[in-house]
Structure 1
Amino acid sequence: MNIRIERAKNLKEKPEGALGFGKNFTDHMFVMDWSRDKGWYDERIIPYGPMVIDPVAMVLHYAQETFEGLKAYMGKDDNVYLFRPEMNARRFANSNRRMCMPEVPEDMFIEAISEIVKVEKSWIPTGEGESLYIRPFMYANQSGLGVDEADSYRFMIVLCPVGAYYPQGVNPVKIYVEDELTRTTVGGTGFVKCGGNYAGSLAGQVKAQKLGYTQVLWLDGVHRKYVEEVGSMNAMFLVNDTVITAPIEGTVLAGVTRDSIISLLKSWGYKVEERKIEIDELIEKGKSGELKEAWGTGTAAVISPIGELFYKGDKVEINDFETGELTKKLYDTLTGIQWGNIEDKYNWRKIVK
């Protein structure tokens, strides 16, 4: 790509102290446009700031929008690393196909991320557990009303330095199992990273928070009995000596962290089952003590231990509400690979050059 760079004249002060998540954004952003007659054009890195959007831009009315999430890490060797960006590129393409939006070729997607990260290298934090979060996204910016695929789109990338996704750190969280509302069904957009999926999940999240729970565990939309995923994470359960997680069948996000964790588990000799598991079975295993550990996986949180499940009045505590040995080993290993602190046997780490 021939990326034009316009440097910001007034640079921001970088945040100090606890970074939180998604609160501070860097000096620049990547922008690229698409039209039906031109294809992709005008690749540019420009100062971060508001974009002009028409009141009848189709994204505002018909929600043609997709996004991704990944991170850049500053290694102790001063190399900047990305973690499996090709998987994000492919998932973004899958999301766009489902939403009738143009695909960004994998090489362009990774090049755009690499270039904006290089421009903003000084923003990559170096504290324990800190990284630079990368948010690629695309939306329909054609003006007009009428339900149809748009003729023009904008692809953008913004960056923000982040600390832990959960302020309580890598400690167990309490999960509310939603048994009334539904998130998606087969044939829908459950596997797509699009804003509509998350907007539709907010009612369950609000309900959970009012009851004192951090996240929602969603059940399938047809039978309301099969465990699927947590609002912002895939979910995994260590039952006796087997790790069980929901299969990728169109209703669950194909998580990059999920895939990486499964690879680690198999390399350590654990049995992994990607299968449907009934919530009643899971609660029963929790009460009998056969549910040894549980955790969520995702780019933002990496791994989040689950210490309690609440379902229809039943509370099940997992591993005495302590972070399990396997959960901690997975977290330490994966973050060690991401930050370049341990050997990468899988060739997951990519240096930004």
Structure 2
Amino acid sequence: MAYPLVRHRRLRNSAGLRSMVRETSVEVNDFIAPIFVTEGNGIKEEISSMPGVYHWSLDNMEEEINEMVSLGIQSVLVFGVPSEKDAVGSSAYDENGIVQKAIRRIKSLYPDLVVVADTCLCQFTDHGHCGVVHTTECGADIDNDESLALLVKTAVSQAKAGADIIAPSNMMDGFVAAIREGLDEAGYKHIPIMSYSVKYSSAYYGPFREAAHSSPQFGDRKTYQMDPANSREALREAESDIAEGADFLMVKPGLAYLDVVRMLRDRYNLPLVVYNVSAEYSMVKAAAMQGWIDERAIVMETLLGMKRAGADLIITYHAKDAARWLQQG
């Protein structure tokens, strides 16, 4: 059966018809909005490579949280920028660390807002790596198993502060199992783990390194983050995390890896998160500032593509803008 009997354009004839047969939608409750919190007072400092995204001190953070809630955003992802760093990232698991203080502050303001805690060491170590570094005859090595113990301490301290979800992003082998065991032993069996299951060693993280002050001081993260050339490996990573007790799976970055999002969606039933990362955001902002693109149209089409590929939730720096546009209709 073909043209002229079959005419696909019949279902595109009006806005009403197009809306009736639309297969995918983007809603404000799909978004998780990142926030960068820093030590100090009176700070609202725009991140130069991420226009519209700021470093916030605890005393000013309420402005940002209030705006997010007013736009209907239901979840935030907390990143902390500490005042001091050391070789083992001790401020990551300090009960009075910047992330822990931010979580307590957010939950005091909006108890029902879902607070996701990024669980990693890179922002807190003086070397910028996501684990403990040992120097060997062959160079520097990230000690996987020693790092796990510190990541567990970090996760437990975040849960104790009031985090609703623990989101470990370190890509150490066995990190989900270690954190699950640590949370359970500490009495937090009810706290879910949103695992950065498939996190690539990507050039798309550039602006985030400025935002989180987390650039490695030597080498790179290719021994623990994934090779961008690999997709079957993503399935192995996801399978491990599921077996270890992950409650969510994540693919990071998003835009260049939507094939991987689809692979995971077709195989697994856990909620699937995609991270619309910093360079994806910054490239759109830069082009929009030059007048080269329609920012609203580009952003909404990108987010729609992530949903269509199979994502249930999207971590995005566009969250406030997109929520505003959805309100406007």
Q: Smaller-chain TM-score range?
A: under 0.3
- Structure with bigger strand share is 1
TM-score by length of 1: 0.25
More helix by share: 2
TM-score, length-scaled by structure 2: 0.26
